Amino acid sequence: MQFTVAIDGPAAAGKGTLSRAVAEKFGFAHLDTGALYRAVGVKAEAEGLDPVAAARSLTPADLARADLRTLAAGQAASKVAVIPEVRQALLDYQRDFARRAGGAVLDGRDIGTVICPTAEVKLFVTASAEVRAHRRWLELGGDEAQVLAEVRARDERDMNRADAPLKPAEDAVQIDTSDMSIEAAVAAACDLIAKAMA
Q: Which residues are annotated as a binding site for ATP?
A: 9-17
CA-wise closest residue to 125 among 80, 74, 79, 166: 166
The single-letter code of the amino acid at 55 is A
Distance CA 30, CA 19 (A): 7
Helix (H, G, I), strand (E, B) or coil at 126: strand
Binding region:
9-17
SS3 category, 93: helix
Please give the radius of gyration of the chain, using alpha carbons only, rounded to the nearest integer.
Answer: 16
- Give the CA angle between residues 88, 93, 97 to the nearest 5°: 140
CA atoms within 13 A on the CB side of 167: 12
